[in-house]
Structure 1
Amino acid sequence: MTPPRSPPPAAAEDARAQILHALLPSLLLTAASVKALHSRWRTLHGTLLALQSSLTAAPASAASHPLFADLVASLLPALRSLHALSARCQDPGLPGGRLRLQSDLDMAASSLSLLLHDLSLLLRSGLLSVGTAESSPHAIVLQVPAAAASRADKSLFVRDAFARLQIGGLDLKLKALASLLDLLGDDSAGEAAQVVAAEGDVAALLRLLDASSHSALRNRAVAVVAHLATACAASRRVVFEEGGLGPLLRVLDSGSAPAMRDRAAAAIVAITADAGSAWALSAYGGVSILVNACRPGSGSPVLQALAVAVLKNVASIDDVRSALVEEGGLPVLVDLLACRTAGTQKSAALCLWSLASVGNHETQSQIVQAGALPPLLQALHIASDQDLQDSILRAIHALTSVPAAVRTLCSSPLFFTQLTDLICRCGSILLQQMAADMVADLAPSVSDDTKRCMAPCISILVKMMEVAKPATVQESAGRALLALLSLKSNRKGFVRDDKSVTRLVRMLDPRNVEIDKKYPVLIFLALAMGGGNGTRRRLLDAGSCQHLQKLADAEVSGAKKALQRISSNRLKSLLSIGWQN
């Protein structure tokens, strides 16, 4: 539909002059003196005074702006109608009856108030003071500035678009939103989003998300809000501070078009990623909405992935955690672990990890009872992406405080084969560390056959003990080694590996300050006490006594006992003489 053209500037100026010099003075006089419906005319008197002030304040060039011309063209018949009503009120017979006259007067006052609101908004925007209309006096919207345009040009464009968004009809509103989307579409640096958030009326934009708005208008408004929420921190903060989370959740919960719901969900993901905003989700009742969005058949796979990503963002918050359990979210998250989309699986696993690691033992037991472990183990078995493996392993590790989970894991040789593969073949030191922690925690409860099958990762764990950062890697690897070396065949295999023995002896050297001596000494002691003479001889020949003696002198725990175990008094005397010489 082609929108009606605005009146030419000369006609708009003539209409303003007629209003200011003829209609308003007469109406103000009537409003001050009329006796019928006096209270309503007294209220109208204030509106008329404000209208007179606004029209007078408008600059002389205002008539060239199409929005101002449209407003003046609408004011003229409204004031003429009010003038006719004033004549009826001054007639003692009150033609048409008092109630009809009262109703007509209320409708005229309401219409006039809306026009005054739009005029005031246009004046506050500053658009009437900018000489842009000369270049395009009848433009529906200003031309979208290029990405390289100045901030001043973008600010003017944004203020103009938001003025049309609040003053114009449906067609103008749709075109204004389309122009904002064009501006935001080429905004990799987030500069345009910052201008829109700073210069535009984001609260007015959010009101368009209401279910009563025209569907096309609502769809485009959601797209603009989603751009603002995902573009940069500054625009995202404005959307949140203006109360955008509630309307976005209502869009997600409604029967809106799939694309609209996806955009709303993307915006919610971005908002809840900020720790300072995530808490508000439960205040808007968002947990049940998101759980429902994650259920099978509730939306597209994209929507499910976005909804579970939001839950992952907020799962560590107490109110959200309890609401998630109460709303039946645990079985839904477990079902999502079987999803073929890696992103959805990752978010579901991280959500369960957050619930288990922050929650109490009851929450952890509820997750296990919901059947989380089998799909987690299956997902770990087929996962090839390291980030996904990391997320799944975090979730599994957080459940190992539950006895039922420990029994399930320890009865799965395949799981320990996967841990071995992660330690031996994974390129991520953090993932290797997590696998080592799992070995350390669970190996004491597994069979000797399982420990024997994990022997290939022993040399890698020794290498991990040499990793300086993060320091916790040394402890994780040391604990895992001690657990595996409880098996005699693993100890024999260790001492037959010259490289591993050499590394261990090097770690005992007091000059190697990057290595904490606790676990190297404990491992050396486990080898010395758990092996025969052949084992002790190998450790002795590797040159360990000199380092152990210095550690014993420094009163490092276990060093003296290890030294005594592998060396006789005679050998210690010979070594002492050799060191003195």
Structure 2
Amino acid sequence: MRREAKFVQDSRNAQETKPTLKLCVQSLSSLISLTHSIKVFAVKWQLIRNKLEELNSGLISADASDQNPAVSGLIRAVTATVAESFDLARRCVDLSYSGKLLMQSDLDIILAKFELHVKRLNEIFSSGMLTPGQALIVSKPAIGACKDDMAFYVRDLLTRMRIADNDMKRQALVNLLEVVSEDDKYVKIVVEFRDLVGVLVGFLNIQEQVVQELSVKVISVIAEFDSYKGSLLSSGIIAPLIRVVETGTLDGQKWASRCLMRLTQNADNAWSVSAHGGVTALLKICSSEGSTAELIVPSCGALRNVAAVEEIKRFMVEEGAVSIFIKLVRSKDDIIQMNSMEFLQVIALGDEITRKMIIKGGGIQALLWILDPLTTQSNKSRETALRVIENLFFSSAGSIEMLVNCGFMELLLHYLQNVDASLQEIALKVATRLCSTSEETKKLLGDAGFMSEFMKLLDAKAFEVREMAAEALSSMVMVPKNRKRFLQEDQNIRSLLRLLEPEEGNLGYKKFLLSTLMAITGCNTGRRKIMNSDHVKNIEKLAAAEISDAKKIIRRLSTNRFRSMFSGMWHP
């Protein structure tokens, strides 16, 4: 009852007291509170409450200049509309209205009046009759505040942004950036205020650099959420972002390109970026001498995303993307190097024409430069270079020949011997893949000394490394020349047989070890060395355990002059 009596008194004050800015704000605040208790016509009252909050925060933002005729006239009009609204609100709370259609009509009239008041307030602010010099500032809600308080604060910031005073816009944007960066709930509220998203997008088109930069930073935070990207796109964000990329400050360009990278993660937006000249603008950033990693990396990311559309990828290639990014591969910045290599991989994978353009443009030499131990590249860059070389150039005999002629085998062997475990594992993966390309390549690997390195890695701690080394070795010994070289080292056979000990566990890599031994039993020298090893019984044990390859090896060892050596031990 006390609460209802207070609202009745506020209504009387609004009608009877000479309206002032202070009283007007008080009556608006009371009406806003009352609307939250209304259970009927919820949508209508939500629209009215939005306008009430906008008016309230706008008037709070004004200084005490209600002596101005235009201002005092607005205050009187707002006060009168508030008084009418109190009566409608009371009847909705009490359910004492005469009819739904009539009440809906009355609420539509009230909403239209408040919309006119908001428009008039914005005009007064734009004219300079109200200034923010002594403005009251709505305090940021405490952590854990209710959604209504958070929404009121955001609406207050929106009102300040609409005022044609750049200082107030800047401060409001600073405050907005702070809250959306701290709490995801504010991001949701911003998106729910479609007007606010529209204002932020509009700020991207103005000349005031700080306002533009702050706006694109707020938009960048919103763009991090997949569920809110649709709101940005429906507000026409693409074209303004591209304009910032083209003409904005370095900071603005950085954040705008980040936004484009996030928005183009959905390939459906690629055409919109391309249609507004975004591809050309992003390529220009990547080719500019003054561009930093902060600019190039997100621009490259956006271009990599839109390259999913074949027509856009072809346009980029025609615009010189290959030469631009080969040059960036030689950058001194590791992040630029890695992103550039990955971009080249994206546009050339499965595209023979582009792959040849990369080769012709010196792409192989640029990638091998990163692998050169005499340069000071990071291991991450070198790992990326190895992956890109594997993915782009192992499918063609001509490309492999060029790699060999440029010293790739020596570099790969160097990193296979590297003490960095991650880099060594990548080098082993690449070497294993190289083994599967052709018999000629296997011969080259054998001549370069890869088999001895594979043997060493059979004792590695990591299971994945041991298995890859065993796989590569089994592939290598299929070539007679490599098999002969392998048998020249007596310890090779002993090592393989030792690794077949039952206590080593039934690991998958044993199938590759058995495959290697199977190849070796194809000659007398190989069979004799296996028979003379102290660990030959390991094969017998595996054969007894019904391991198919082990049984096949025993059968080969049991033929002709070797059969007597197994008499009493094994009967095939």
In 1, are the aligned partners of 2:286 and 2:324 still within 8 Å (CA)?
Answer: yes
In 2, are the aligned partners of 1:181 and 1:224 still within 8 Å (CA)?
Answer: yes
- The verdict on how the C-alpha distance between 1:541 and 1:238 changes in structure 2, with shifts beyond 3 A counting, is same
Q: Distance in 2 between matches of 1:242 and 1:531?
A: 78
In 1, are the aligned partners of 2:62 and 2:135 still within 8 Å (CA)?
Answer: no
Matched, 1:436 2:435: no
Residue 345 of structure 2 aligns to which amino acid in structure 1?
W
Matched, 1:158 2:167: no
Match of 1:532, SS state, is helix
Residue 335 of structure 1 is matched in structure 2 by 327
Q: How do 1:281-360 and structure 2 match up within 5 A?
A: 281-282=273-274, 284-297=276-289, 299-357=291-349, 359-360=350-351
CA-CA distance at 1:327 after TM superposition: 1.9
Q: Distance in 2 between matches of 1:289 and 1:114?
A: 46
Q: Distance in 2 between matches of 1:180 and 1:165?
A: 10
- The verdict on how the C-alpha distance between 1:395 and 1:572 changes in structure 2, with shifts beyond 3 A counting, is same
Residue 380 of structure 2 is matched in structure 1 by 387
Residue 421 of structure 2 is matched in structure 1 by 427
- The verdict on how the C-alpha distance between 1:114 and 1:330 changes in structure 2, with shifts beyond 3 A counting, is farther
Aligned length: 479
Residue 139 of structure 1 is matched in structure 2 by 135
Residue 365 of structure 1 is matched in structure 2 by 356
Question: Per-residue displacement from partner, 1:133-160 (whole Å, max 9, x unpaired)?
Answer: xxx9963542334556555433321122
Residue 181 of structure 1 is matched in structure 2 by 177
- The verdict on how the C-alpha distance between 1:252 and 1:521 changes in structure 2, with shifts beyond 3 A counting, is same
Residue 21 of structure 1 is matched in structure 2 by none
CA-CA distance at 1:347 after TM superposition: 0.4
- The verdict on how the C-alpha distance between 1:250 and 1:570 changes in structure 2, with shifts beyond 3 A counting, is same
Q: Distance in 1 between matches of 2:474 and 2:483?
A: 17
Q: Distance in 2 between matches of 1:437 and 1:569?
A: 36
Q: Structure 2 residue aligned with 1:487, among 478, 482, 485?
A: 482
Matched, 1:214 2:208: yes
Residue 458 of structure 1 is matched in structure 2 by 454
CA-CA distance at 1:411 after TM superposition: 1.6
Q: Distance in 2 between matches of 1:312 and 1:233?
A: 19
In 2, are the aligned partners of 1:443 and 1:483 still within 8 Å (CA)?
Answer: no
Residue 190 of structure 2 is matched in structure 1 by 196
In 2, are the aligned partners of 1:226 and 1:267 still within 8 Å (CA)?
Answer: yes
Matched, 1:375 2:371: no
Residue 159 of structure 2 aligns to which amino acid in structure 1?
A
CA-CA distance at 1:391 after TM superposition: 1.6
Matched, 1:119 2:118: yes
CA-CA distance at 1:122 after TM superposition: 9.2
Matched, 1:505 2:500: yes
Residue 501 of structure 1 aligns to which amino acid in structure 2?
L
Residue 5 of structure 2 is matched in structure 1 by none
Residue 154 of structure 2 aligns to which amino acid in structure 1?
V
Q: Distance in 1 between matches of 2:517 and 2:558?
A: 13
Q: Distance in 2 between matches of 1:300 and 1:243?
A: 28
Q: Distance in 2 between matches of 1:138 and 1:542?
A: 94
CA-CA distance at 1:574 after TM superposition: 5.9
In 1, are the aligned partners of 2:261 and 2:305 still within 8 Å (CA)?
Answer: yes
Q: Distance in 1 between matches of 2:213 and 2:196?
A: 16
Residue 90 of structure 2 is matched in structure 1 by none
CA-CA distance at 1:264 after TM superposition: 1.4
Residue 454 of structure 1 aligns to which amino acid in structure 2?
F
CA-based RMSD of the aligned residues comes to 4.7
Match of 1:144, SS state, is coil
Q: Distance in 2 between matches of 1:487 and 1:279?
A: 53
- The verdict on how the C-alpha distance between 1:309 and 1:9 changes in structure 2, with shifts beyond 3 A counting, is farther
TM-score (norm 2): 0.68
CA-CA distance at 1:515 after TM superposition: 1.1
- The verdict on how the C-alpha distance between 1:458 and 1:516 changes in structure 2, with shifts beyond 3 A counting, is closer
Q: Structure 1 residue aligned with 2:557, among 521, 545, 566?
A: 566
- The verdict on how the C-alpha distance between 1:326 and 1:11 changes in structure 2, with shifts beyond 3 A counting, is same
CA-CA distance at 1:161 after TM superposition: 0.8
Match of 1:578, SS state, is coil
Residue 496 of structure 2 aligns to which amino acid in structure 1?
V
Q: Distance in 2 between matches of 1:9 and 1:258?
A: 53
Residue 169 of structure 2 aligns to which amino acid in structure 1?
K
Residue 515 of structure 1 is matched in structure 2 by 508
Question: Per-residue displacement from partner, 1:116-145 (whole Å, max 9, x unpaired)?
Answer: 56727999xxxxxxxxxxxx9963542334
Match of 1:529, SS state, is coil
Question: Per-residue displacement from partner, 1:420-469 (whole Å, max 9, x unpaired)?
Answer: 233333412752453233431467435658634334422245347x9666
Residue 177 of structure 2 aligns to which amino acid in structure 1?
L
- The verdict on how the C-alpha distance between 1:235 and 1:120 changes in structure 2, with shifts beyond 3 A counting, is same
CA-CA distance at 1:200 after TM superposition: 6.2
Q: Structure 2 residue aligned with 1:266, among 229, 234, 258?
A: 258
Q: Distance in 2 between matches of 1:257 and 1:453?
A: 55
Q: Distance in 2 between matches of 1:438 and 1:63?
A: 66
Q: Distance in 2 between matches of 1:295 and 1:325?
A: 14
CA-CA distance at 1:532 after TM superposition: 1.9
- The verdict on how the C-alpha distance between 1:554 and 1:562 changes in structure 2, with shifts beyond 3 A counting, is closer
Residue 256 of structure 2 aligns to which amino acid in structure 1?
A
Matched, 1:253 2:252: no
Question: Per-residue displacement from partner, 1:225-276 (whole Å, max 9, x unpaired)?
Answer: 233334x55555643454433322221122x221211221233333345677
Match of 2:417, SS state, is helix
Residue 205 of structure 1 is matched in structure 2 by 199
In 1, are the aligned partners of 2:371 and 2:385 still within 8 Å (CA)?
Answer: yes
Structure 1 portions without partners, runs of 5+: 1-7, 17-52, 79-112, 124-135
Q: Distance in 2 between matches of 1:64 and 1:301?
A: 42
CA-CA distance at 1:349 after TM superposition: 0.7
Residue 5 of structure 1 is matched in structure 2 by none
Q: Distance in 2 between matches of 1:467 and 1:454?
A: 19
Residue 19 of structure 2 is matched in structure 1 by 10
CA-CA distance at 1:214 after TM superposition: 3.2
In 1, are the aligned partners of 2:446 and 2:476 still within 8 Å (CA)?
Answer: no
In 2, are the aligned partners of 1:66 and 1:138 still within 8 Å (CA)?
Answer: no
In 2, are the aligned partners of 1:164 and 1:173 still within 8 Å (CA)?
Answer: yes
CA-CA distance at 1:173 after TM superposition: 2.1
- The verdict on how the C-alpha distance between 1:213 and 1:565 changes in structure 2, with shifts beyond 3 A counting, is same
Match of 2:346, SS state, is helix
CA-CA distance at 1:511 after TM superposition: 10
Match of 1:577, SS state, is coil
In 2, are the aligned partners of 1:330 and 1:367 still within 8 Å (CA)?
Answer: yes
